Structure 1
Amino acid sequence: MIKIDNLTKRFGSHISLDNVSIQFDKNDHIAIMGPNGAGKTTLIRSIMGYYHPNSGEVLINGLNPIKNRTKVLDSISFVPQLPPPIKLSLNELMKYIQASSNVDIAEIIHYANEMKLDINANLNKSFFKLSGGMKQKMLIAISLAKKSEIIIYDEPTANLDPKARDDFYRLLEENEKEKISLFVTHRLDEVKDIVNRQIYMDLGKVISDERVGN
């Protein structure tokens, strides 16, 4: 469970989150929408403990994500909009993920295959040198292999072709039971079949929060 109470975050004089209170529970699958600068990314980064709030509180399963960062991040899978500049080869990256997060390498390879990413052909290639689409497929495979309680995707299909997008959403549908999933997206048409809640943000506030679908 994610519980956010009266959360305010400022950067200088700019208010990025303005007294936001919201809760996400198991089996909530949420599209978070809004224009650039609405506070969507700040909200996600606050959930993950990247930002110290100016006031208010974030709790992940009762834990503060800043004070209990390692434990909280153990329960979260995150795929950013821009892949990080990782210099490790795919082989080294999978071994690192296995050691740091106890993720089964066979599971990463399974989901990579499902995303039509041939890991074996690229095993010794640097992640940094892969195409944007291949990087995204690899990060998605890792996120699914981790079997986290909370999965967060920030514009996850930005670098994917239509077939890869279909594969991604099919895999999500197969893996979303008993989880919280958050999608920061401008493509509501893509996620409408897998979300059951739509949140619209603007100027650091939650403008609307609607249950949809089943």
Structure 2
Amino acid sequence: MIEITNLTKKFGEQIALDDINLHFKKGEKSLIIGQNGAGKSTLMKSILGEYLPNTGSVKINGINPLKDRKKALKNIAFVPQTPPPIKLTLSEMVEFVTKSCEISPTKIDEFSKFLEFNLKANLNKPFFKLSGGMKQKFLIAIAYARDCSILMFDEPTANLDPKAREIFKELLANSQGKTAVFISHRVSEMGGLINRVIEMDLAKVVKDEKVV
């Protein structure tokens, strides 16, 4: 599904990723952990084609996201740690997503309800004015409504209250057959939901273990 080969990324003289080799297989649920600055978010952004590597490559289902980003990311749903300050209303966002991703707005509403987010009551509100938890729920609802084969989350539960975290875990538990890649400091919350833990430190992968 996702193949990372000899990936190195530098920002000036600083090495953010140092010769990373990883392969995320179909159906794997992988958790990436590490201290701030270890390279976790840089790795995720490199997978999404946001960064041009100095050396090495990323392929998603055999496609290089730098050469054909639209095709490579067609089957990836991504939820960032910090939602962008989008000024569109939720109604406008739903319209954009349903047209660009060819999904039904009903699906977004269904997942919003499952996450206990009242989408219809907030349709006329600008996205950037929502609370952190509401933004997170809305973006997660969109991600699941797209029904992609690969899910990527950067600290998906950071802005969620305890109940919403449990609901999110239920969604993940029901995502059989999907490949999921997480960045999270809340390792205990992922217990029983992941089958692989990857630890990064100082731009390198220092541990890559299967979870039984």
TM-score, normalising length from structure 2? 0.98
Q: Match of 1:197? A: 196
Map 1:53-202 to 2 at 5 A: 53-174=53-174, 176-202=175-201
User: What secondary structure is seen at the aligned counterpart in 2 of 1:74?
Assistant: coil
Measure the CA separation in 1 of the matches of 2:38 and 2:23.
18
Q: What percent of counterpart residues are identical?
A: 51
| C-alpha separation in 2, matches of 1:101 and 1:84 | 19
Count matched residues: 212
Partner SS, residue 158 of structure 2:
coil
Write the mapping of 1:39-50 to structure 2, written as runs, cut at 5 A: 39-50=39-50
Divergent runs of 4+, >2 A: none
Offset at 1:179? 1.4
* Distance across 1 between alignment mates of 2:58 and 2:131: 36
TM-score by length of 1: 0.97
Q: CA separation in 1, counterparts of 2:132 and 2:17?
A: 30
1:30 counterpart letter in structure 2 = S
Residue segments in structure 2 that go unaligned for 5+ positions in a row: none
Q: How much does 1:74 deviate?
A: 1.2
Alignment partners' CA distance in 2, 1:74 and 1:101? 8
* Residues in 2 aligned to 1:52 and 1:126: alpha-carbon distance in whole angstroms: 32
Deviations for 1:156-212, whole angstroms, at most 9, x for unmatched residues?
Answer: 1111100000011101111x2221101100000001221000000001111011110
What secondary structure, in the 3-state scheme, does the structure 1 residue paired with 2:73 have? helix
Cα deviation digits, residues 113-152 of structure 1 (max 9, x gap): 0000011111111111111110100000000101111110
Give the aligned residue type for 1:99. K
Deviation at 1:89, TM superposition (A): 1.1
Q: Distance in 2 between matches of 1:26 and 1:159?
A: 28
Matched AA of 1:20: I
- Pairwise CA RMSD of aligned residues? 0.7
Match of 2:52, SS state, is: coil
